[in-house]
Structure 1
Amino acid sequence: MKFKSDAVLSAKSLRYFLQLIDNMSYTQASQILGITQPALTQQIKKIERAVGAPLFGQIGKKLYLTDAGIKMQETAKELFNTVNNAVDQIQKDTNSETGNISIGVLSSIEYQVIEDFIIEFNDLFPEITISLNMLTRNEILERLENNHIDLAIMHLPDESIKNWKPYKVKQIYMDEVLYLTHDDVPKNKKSISLEDANKNPWVSYPVEFYVPQILTQVFKDNRVDLPESNALFTSPYQLIRFAEKTNSDTAITESFYRAHKDQIDLTALHFDPRVRFDMSFIYRREKENIPRINNFFEHWDKFLAKESYSSRLEHVETI
């Protein structure tokens, strides 16, 4: 026999439901979730059919929660919290020198210093298995929320995270966006205005990536049009290779440039105004009480105490 609760308790449906509550917009919620709007609508209707009542009403273009929606919101949050707390409690009882640590890393981040640390950590604690996964922002947020990764490494601030209450942040490095150009630049020139950066064609990350989104906001705040891109790539290696082979300029993180500048045949300039942000660990608050996670952070701090992250960027080993 199939019960209606099977549909209600679908983790995917409940996650989509809670995301729609955060945005109160099918368009925005589906973009954050990385799905189509019809797919989101289908999941919401699936829950509504199971409970036998509408969860959302609409006045004009504005969504609101019905009484059934409010009750379902409370239930969905309780379910997620119960599962996550149970997982965290089990993990707290484990040894600090055994087990698994799963880390999600934003795919555009320069991660080789982190890899160097993982190699050193593995030498000290060979019975802790660390899984490093290169993910998109949507994938990271989904896996954080569902407790499928222990730690995330992302750029902040990130407006796609609406509820910070369950999470803590540990800064890794103050990063920024650099402009890479073919143009002959005087040696004493260290920065470029937004207006001048708009004169050449660009190659860029896709619009849903962090770097173009933060640049879009900076250009908008300064009333300058963001340059149009003649190509889009998901990897900084691809961006630089395309820019070097064409007459395009691009923008990448300062951390990536410092780690690979000997292999980059482009001139790097700061934007004026400078475009800065943090690279940070993000994790659920309960995670720091898990012995192996606490052990990981203790040795991370010792790793940086021996040599700073900034200094380590200067001599990462490229393969």
Structure 2
Amino acid sequence: MNLRQLEYFIAISETMNFTKAANNLFISQTALTKQIKSLEKELDTLLFNRDSKQISLTDSGKYFLIEAKKIINQVNLSKNNFISYQQGITGNLKIGFLKNLDPNLLVKIISKLNKKYPLLTIELNSYSNHELYQQLESATIDLALTMSNHDPRYQQILINKYPLVVLVNKKSELAKKDKLHQSELNNILFDVRKIDNQNKFPEFEGNLLKIACNQGCAILHAFVKDNCYNQYIKAIPLEPVIEEGIYLVYDKNNHNPAINNFVSLIKNKLLNV
């Protein structure tokens, strides 16, 4: 039994005429009859009552017609689903994003993606910058929204640039300033983005707590200034202005079809971020 035989059987059932069915299928009546007889032999039953004037479905034929249509419909559905998957319309897309990433940026990106590809399942998880590249390397995530590490193994597309600010405790001497030049920071600055001895990024919330407790300061993207420690922390612009980008990063050897759709959204500037 094969799909062609099922399609032939359904075609005859719709016309109740071998000649008409053969014409509709663009095959000879002899070839059509041969296929149906082969199907009946395999099923060990007659599917059609045949007489000199007309044909009709047997009881077995009526039952088998229901099953044959189910099979053909399921095959067509599976084909369409697979095509949708290949086009990145369905399936799963695992996105990792930088802890404390600009929430407005994240909402815009995911909202646009959901609107354009509503059948796509999107998984979201936050990590440190270092962890994001580990997740990409292990293929735990498909895409990362993070800072660039200039690793040639990954494709990197700039999404947006943000000015850097200095986060200081409001009671510190630095908090009296409206702007800060890098030369003024000297040795009192600790930067939460620097890698420690274990090659891991320091815990972000812990560093904010340190600043809130007046134990130092940090340079971060301007969007970080809105946090739970606002009553203790002041964000001071750097002079001259320094900007750092947030990138869409992905492994060029990852063949998840949905990646191409996300990349197209970015490249075509449909996100308007």
TM-score after normalising by structure 2: 0.52
Alpha-carbon distance in 1 for matches of 2:99, 2:228: 19
User: Is 1:96 equivalent to 2:88 in the alignment?
Assistant: yes
Residue among 186, 194, 201 paired with 1:198: 186
Contact (CA 8 Å) 1:203, 1:242: kept in 2 or not? no
> Higher Cα Rg: structure 1 or 2?
2
- What is the identity, as a one-letter code, of the residue corresponding to 1:198? N
Alpha-carbon distance in 2 for matches of 1:178, 1:291: 38
Alpha-carbon distance in 2 for matches of 1:109, 1:207: 17
Distance 1:205 1:91, change over 3 A: farther
Counterpart position of 1:129? 121
Contact (CA 8 Å) 2:129, 2:147: kept in 1 or not? no
How many residue pairs get aligned? The number is 183
Alpha-carbon distance in 2 for matches of 1:92, 1:127: 9
Q: Where in structure 2 are the equivalents of 1:266-285 lying within 5 Å? A: 266-272=233-239, 274-285=241-252
- SS of 1:302's equivalent? coil
Alpha-carbon distance in 2 for matches of 1:137, 1:268: 21
The two structures, once aligned, show a CA RMSD in angstroms of: 3.8
Distance 1:250 1:136, change over 3 A: closer
Alpha-carbon distance in 2 for matches of 1:106, 1:204: 16
Distance 1:148 1:180, change over 3 A: closer
Residue among 252, 255, 261 paired with 1:295: 261
Counterpart position of 1:180? 167
Alpha-carbon distance in 2 for matches of 1:193, 1:139: 28
Distance 1:117 1:141, change over 3 A: closer
Distance 1:173 1:264, change over 3 A: farther
- SS of 2:88's equivalent? coil
What's the offset of the Cα at 1:269?
2.6
Alpha-carbon distance in 2 for matches of 1:293, 1:108: 23
- SS of 1:282's equivalent? strand
Contact (CA 8 Å) 1:204, 1:233: kept in 2 or not? no
Q: Where in structure 2 are the equivalents of 1:1-319 lying within 5 Å? A: 94-107=86-99, 109-156=101-148, 158=149, 161=151, 164=152, 166-181=153-168, 182=170, 183=173, 184-185=175-176, 189-194=178-183, 196-198=184-186, 200=188, 204-205=191-192, 207-208=194-195, 234-235=203-204, 237-246=205-214, 248-257=216-225, 263=230, 265-272=232-239, 274-285=241-252, 291-300=257-266, 301-304=269-272, 309=273
Alpha-carbon distance in 2 for matches of 1:104, 1:206: 17
What's the offset of the Cα at 1:128?
1.0
Q: Deviations over 1:155-208 (max 9, x none)?
A: 12x26x3xx1x432110112343112333535xx433342x22375x5652741
- What is the identity, as a one-letter code, of the residue corresponding to 2:203? T
- SS of 2:249's equivalent? strand
Contact (CA 8 Å) 1:203, 1:239: kept in 2 or not? no
Alpha-carbon distance in 1 for matches of 2:83, 2:144: 17
Gaps of 5+ in 1: 1-89, 214-231, 310-319
Percent of aligned pairs with the same amino acid: 18
Distance 1:261 1:101, change over 3 A: same
Gaps of 5+ in 2: 1-81
Contact (CA 8 Å) 2:142, 2:256: kept in 1 or not? no
TM-score after normalising by structure 1: 0.46
Contact (CA 8 Å) 2:98, 2:132: kept in 1 or not? yes
